[in-house]
Amino acid sequence: MSDTTANGLAETSARPERRDIGIKKRYAAERRFKAYGIIAIAIGLAFLVALLWSVFSKGYTAFWQTEIQVPITFSEEVLGTPEQANQSQTKLMMANYPQIAREGLAQLLDVDTSDRDAMRAVGALISDGVRIELRDMVLNDLSIIGTTQDVWLYASSELDSALKGQYDLAVPENRRPISDLQLQYIETLQEQGAIEQRFNTGLFTFGASSRAETAGVGVAIIGSLYMMLIVLALALPIGVAASIYLEEFAPKNKFTDLIEVNINNLAAVPSIVFGLLGLAVFINWFGLPRSAALVGGLVLTLMTLPTIIIATRAALRAVPPSIRWAALGVGASKTQTVFHHVLPLAAPGILTGTIIGLAQALGETAPLLLIGMVAFVADYPSTPMDPATALPVQIYMWANEAERAFVERTSGAIIILLAFLAIMNLTAIFLRRRFERRW
Amino acid sequence: MENIQATLNRGQAVQSAKPIKMKSQDVTVHYGSKQALNGITLDIPERQVTALIGPSGCGKSTYLRCLNRMNDTIDSASVGGKITLDGEDIYDPAIDVVELRARVGMVFQKPNPFPKSIYENVAYGPKIHGLSRNKQELDEIVHTSLKKAGLYNEVKDRLDEPGTGLSGGQQQRLCIARAIAVSPEVILMDEPCSALDPIATATVEELIDELRENFTIVIVTHSMQQAARVSQITAMFHLGDLAEVGPTEKMFSNPDDKRTQDYITGRFG
């Protein structure tokens, strides 16, 4: 032993001549590689910033909606007396509310109600949604019949877009959606302080609508929520059970290898294929209703399963084998070992994987188009069996609309979707930080 | 004085042949097509410390893991031959492997406490085996086990703190406490001191010497000195064979086998 050590020392002290290995070149290569890395990150960041900027700059206005304060006369002439309303609501339901609103606004603007052109211009300033807004007011409180109330009404999307500066007013009058007369009215209203931009709660509560000012993502949010719940309820237990079996119990042989390869491949299958599968199996074969959140949830479950299985297996594998030995060593059975020790330690990883999988499912559009979730759904689904849409599908549908007001709503809905995704990812990060264990 | 007394005791122990606790006959282990043990026949006496020594890769850890069937957890491993515990074949299909591991406990090379409280670490075994009827009995088992492992005084005020927060030596004694909490008959130790500093090693060695009164202990070690200090019987493994087995004093003073002699004098290993 000591001989070799001495020899080694002797050799190093002789300092053999070193050939030139290009130290300068090596440093240059290192610097170059660092620069490549920084450039790559910069490009990525630039794209991200461009994306966020384009979405936010177009979309933030969607969260504000112009409203006009109009004195509305709920005359008994039009609506009938409260006594009549108590007997039959037909008259209340059928009454011409836009007319009432139009007349109220005309009064505010000092427009002669017999001037049909002027009245048309006035009417186009208010949303057609007043029909429902005013009707609900009356139905909620019959005592307002016969009185005059100041009511904030939704302005039409043309007025809204004009106020937000989304129209080029330099083009000739007949080539833009808002006339000079209307612009004049808007100015008058602004002077009176009867026009205001308010937070657009309707964007979150309304369903699909052909009028931009009464279109919202409410139904889509509920549809997405139903689907996420279904995915969570199905994919998590199935995925975790499959992973535990594969990772802890299954013998390692050709067959389990085949299963493993297939699961990994399944994660890479284009999502539209899952949509076709859902159409063939759940709708045509099982006879489940079209456009239903249930079918969407089932399809997304199939899509999310491989993600959850892969994440769970990775989490299980990350639990050190010494913990398993320790449990087996004190006489715990295989199942006790897994459920008392391995699974709790893998839980943060499993949760993170599940949330990432859910986020992926939340943003998925293509398979939902195939199972008919691209429908025009104005009413809230009361069960997952009712027709619904999903957030990304709503974005897709709005993106096909030409109106300026829908353009901003498309971006607004994207912001909402991104916010949901960000919340989910932050939750995943938080859970991982909170429950991560160190050995 | 104590040392002399201990040495005397040890001498007596060897001389008065103890009954055989575990008997191995022609035990072979294959990992896939590779044979790791070529027929080991070895008797492990009751309430003695049996040390397994030998160079790395000689199969001593593999043999140790046969004694409580930990090799079952390795898919490619297949065990041949016969091992008995109190005359019962432990590889008999009728034997419950969970029950066996409760009777033959194990302490591993690297301290591996559960990432739970100190109390939970020790209480886990008794809980799953139903050794206590109520909280008081469980407390009693935990406290006794920690006392037997010589850890109680150090941790009695912080039983709720995580076991992973203890020092290396304390963690290993916690693992020993966890092993003895289920009242095993045999304790297998796989290089229990290799991850510990000399002071912690000394503490654990003392502990092993004390545990001998109640338990049959089989210890794998790379340290000749440790084998000499704690064991009464030493078995020398070499390349999957049992080179030699005998009373520790004889093995270290006058071994029969050339390989043993070479190994303990540091010629290879």
Structural domains in chain B plus CATH codes: 2-114+186-264 (3.40.50.300)
Closest CA to B87 of B21, B39, B42: B21
DSSP state of B106: E
Q: For residue B129, which residues of chain A lie inside 8 Å, CB to CB?
A: 331
Query: How would you class A438 by CB atoms within 10 Å of its CB: exposed for 0-12, middle for 13-18, buried for 19 or more?
Result: exposed
Return the axis-axis angle of helices A321-329 and B168-180, rounded to nearest 10°: 40
Give the C-alpha separation, B246 to A123, whole Å.
Answer: 109
Tell me the CATH number at A404: 1.10.3720.10
Question: Average pLDDT in the B170-188 region?
Answer: 93
Residues of B at the A interface, defined by Cβ within 8 angstroms: 68, 70, 73, 75, 98-102, 105-108, 110, 112-115, 124-125, 128-129, 164, 175, 178-179, 181-182
Q: In this structure, are A292 and A398 located in the same domain?
A: yes
Distance CA B220, CA B62 (A): 10
Q: Is B22 helix (H, G, I), strand (E, B) or coil?
A: strand
Minimum Cα–Cα distance from B179: chain A residue: A330
Residues of A in contact with B128 (CB under 8 A): 330-332, 336, 340
Which of A198, A226, A257 is where one domain is finished? A198
Report the number of distinct structural domains present in chain A: 2
Query: Residue A201 and residue A64: Cα distance in Å, rounded?
Result: 9
User: How is A368-432 classified by DSSP, letter by letter?
Assistant: HHHTTTTS---SPPSSTTSB---HHHHHHHHHT--SHHHHHHHHHHHHHHHHHHHHHHHHHHHHH
Distances A374 to A228, A243, A388, A400 between C-alpha atoms, Å: 17, 34, 9, 12
Burial A227-263 (b: 16+ CB within 10 A, else e): bbebbbebbbeebbebbbebbbeeeeeeeeeeebeeb
Using the predicted structure, report yes or no on whether residue B50 has a pLDDT greater than 90. yes
* B5, pLDDT greater than 80: no
Contact between residue B91 and residue B69 where contact means Cβ atoms under 8 Å apart: yes
| A316 and A394 housed in the same domain | yes
Test B115 with A324 for CB contact under 8 angstroms: no
Which residues in chain A are closer than 8 Å to B107, comparing Cβ atoms? 329
Q: Does A193 touch chain B (CB under 8 A)?
A: no
What is the amino acid identity at position A405? A
Q: Which amino acid is at A62?
A: A
**Is residue A55 assigned to a domain?**
no
> Does the distance separating the beta carbons of A251 and B73 come in below 8 Å?
no
Contacts of A324 in chain B (CB under 8 A): 73
Decide if B70 and A328 are in contact by the 8 Å CB cutoff.
Answer: yes
Cα–Cα–Cα angle for A257, A262, A268, rounded to 5 degrees: 140
Q: Please calculate the CA angle A302-A306-A307 and round it to the nearest 5 degrees.
A: 110
Closest residue in chain B to residue A437, using alpha carbons only: B115
Tokens at residue B248, please?
């520790």
Asked whether the beta carbons of residue A322 and residue B110 sit closer than 8 angstroms, the reply is yes
pLDDT of amino acid B15: 46
Asked if B108 lies within 8 A of A326 by C-beta distance, the reply is: yes
Residues 6+ apart with CB under 8 A from A251: B75
Cβ contact, residue pair A330, B124, below 8 Å? yes
Query: Which residues of chain A neighbour B98 with C-beta distances below 8 Å?
Result: 331-333
Collect all residues of chain B within an 8 Å Cβ-Cβ radius of residue A331. 98-102, 105, 125, 128-129, 182
In terms of Cα–Cα distance, which of A394, A410, A423 is closest to A59? A410
Q: A296 and A164, same structural domain? A: no
- Of A107-116, A236-245, B118-127, B207-216, give the lowest mean pLDDT range: A107-116
Q: Residue B268: which pLDDT band, with cuts at 50, 70 and 90?
A: low
Distance CA A209, CA B169 (A): 71
- Which residues of chain B does A437 touch, with a Cβ-Cβ cutoff of 8 Å? 115
Say whether A329 and B70 touch across the interface (CB within 8 A): yes
Are the CB atoms for A330 and B105 separated by under 8 Å? yes
Helix (H) or strand (E) holding A370: helix A366-370
For residue A6, the model assigns a pLDDT of: 47
Distance from CA of A374 to the nearest CA of B (A): 49
Buried-state track A15-40, b at ≥16 Cβ within 10 A, e below 16: eeeeeeeeeeeeeeeeeeeeeeeeee
Q: Which token pair is B222?
A: 């790379």
Q: What is the mean pLDDT of residues B131-156?
A: 90
Per CB-CB distance under 8 Å, the chain A contacts of B125 are 330-332
Instruction: Give yes or no: residues A188 and A260 share one domain.
Output: no
> Is there a domain that residue A183 lies in?
yes
Searching chain A, which residue's CA lies closest to the CA of residue B122?
A: A330
- Of A155-159, B30-34, B185-189, the range with the highest mean pLDDT is B185-189
Mean pLDDT of chain B: 87
pLDDT of residue B261: 87
Residues A313 and A249: beta-carbon distance below 8 Å: no
- What is the 8-class DSSP label of residue B80? E
Local confidence band at B1 (pLDDT 50, 70, 90 cut-offs): very low
How many angstroms separate the CA atoms of A181 and B86, rounded? 106
Q: Which of A139, A164, A198 is the last residue of a domain?
A: A198
**Dist. CA B266–CA B223, nearest whole Å:** 11
Q: Please tell me which of the candidates A251, A320, A331 has its beta carbon nearest to residue B102.
A: A331
CB pairs under 8 A between A and B: 68
Which of B113, B164, B182 is closest, CB to CB, to A331?
B182
**A436 contact B CB<8A:** no
Q: What count of residues does chain A have?
A: 439
Select from A251, A330, A439 the Cβ nearest to the Cβ of B164: A439
Q: Are residues A193 and A235 in the same domain?
A: no
In chain B, residues with a C-beta closer than 8 Å to the C-beta of A251 are: 75
B209 touches B2 (CB < 8 A): no
Contact A326 B112 (CB under 8 A): yes
Of B73, B112, B129, the CB nearest to A322: B112
- Residue from A104, A128, A114, A174 nearest A182 by CA: A174
Residue A292 domain flag: yes
3-state SS assignment for residue B23: strand
Work out the burial of residue B51: count CB atoms within 10 Å of its CB; fewer than 13 is exposed, 13-18 middle, 19 or more buried. buried
Which residue among A252, A324, A327 places its CB closest to the CB of B75?
A252
Q: Residue by residue, what is the 3-state secondary structure of B215-255?
A: CEEEEECCCHHHHHHHCCEEEEEECCEEEEEEEHHHHHHCC
Which DSSP string do the residues of A359-384 spell out, in sequence order? Answer: HHHHT--HHHHHTTTTS---SPPSST
What is the C-alpha to C-alpha distance for residues A249 and B205, in angstroms, rounded to an integer? Answer: 37
Q: Are residues A267 and A155 in the same domain?
A: no
Rounded to 5 degrees, φ, ψ at B79 are -110, 135
Residue B104: closest CA among B197, B180, B195: B180
Tokens of A347: 């839980």
Does the CB of A331 have a partner CB in chain B at under 8 Å?
yes
Question: Does any domain span residue A172?
Answer: yes
Q: Residue B43: beta bridge partners?
A: B23
Closest residue of chain B to A252, computed from CA coordinates? B75
Residues 6+ apart with CB under 8 A from A115: none
- Is A329 in contact with B182 (Cβ distance < 8 A)? no
Taking the CA of residue B128 and the nearest CA in chain A, the distance in Å comes to: 7
Residues A121 and A259 in one domain: no
Q: Cα dist. A214→A105, A373, B265 in Å?
A: 19, 20, 92
Chain B nearest-CA residue for A253: B75
User: Rounded CA gap, B82 and B33, in Å?
Assistant: 20
What residue numbers bound the domain in which A393 lies? Answer: 218-435
Q: Do A329 and B106 touch (CB under 8 A)?
A: yes
The nearest CA of chain B is from the CA of A326 a distance in Å of 7
Count of C-beta atoms within a 10 Å radius of residue B5: 9
A222 and A178 within one domain: no
Element spanning A225, H or E:
helix A218-244
Do A292 and A368 form a contact (C-beta atoms < 8 A)?
A: no
d(CA B65, CA B76): 14
CB pair distance less than 8 Å for A332 and B124: yes
Cα end-to-end span (Å), chain B: 35
- Answer yes or no: are the C-beta atoms of A220 and A390 closer than 8 Å: yes
- A84 and A231 share one domain: no
Q: Is B90 helix (H, G, I), strand (E, B) or coil?
A: coil
Q: Kindly tell me if the per-residue pLDDT of B14 is higher than 60.
A: no
Flag whether A223 is in a domain: yes
Contact B129 A340 (CB under 8 A): no
Determine the residue of chain B that is closest to A340 in CA distance: B124
CB contact under 8 A, A323 and B175: no
Looking at the structure, do residues A258 and A313 belong to the same domain, yes or no?
Answer: yes
ipTM rounded to 2 decimals: 0.85
B113's tokens: 């406490």
Residue B38, helix vs strand vs coil: strand
Residue entry with tokens 């520790």: B248
User: For the residues B203-226, what does the mean pLDDT come to?
Assistant: 91
**pLDDT score, position A240:** 95
Mean pLDDT of all residues in B127-141: 91
Residue A172 sits at the chain B interface (C-beta within 8 Å):
no
Is residue A132 assigned to a domain? yes
Instruction: Check if A254 contacts B (Cβ < 8 Å).
Output: no
For chain A, which ranges sit under pLDDT 70?
Answer: 1-13, 437-439
B49 neighbors B219 (Cβ within 8 angstroms): yes
Does A13 reside within a domain?
A: no
Between CA A284 and CA A212 the distance in angstroms is 34
A363 falls within a domain: yes
Q: Is residue B23 within 8 Å of B43, Cβ to Cβ? A: yes
Question: Among A322, A345, A439, whose Cβ lies nearest the Cβ of B108?
Answer: A322
Cα separation, A276 vs A295, in Å, equals 12
Q: What whole-number distance in Å separates Cα of residue B215 and Cα of residue B203?
A: 18
Same domain, A173 and A291: no
Spatial separation of the C-alpha atoms in residues B125 and A380, rounded to whole Å: 54
**Domain-ending residue, one of A198, A233, A261:** A198
- Which two tokens mark B220? 């794998």
Note whether A287 and A348 are same-domain residues.
yes
Distance from CA of B219 to the nearest CA of A (A): 15
Residue A421, amino acid: L
The tokens for A215 are 């279109």
In chain B, whose CA is at the least distance from the CA of A341?
A: B114
What is the C-alpha separation between A160 and A253, in angstroms, rounded? 66
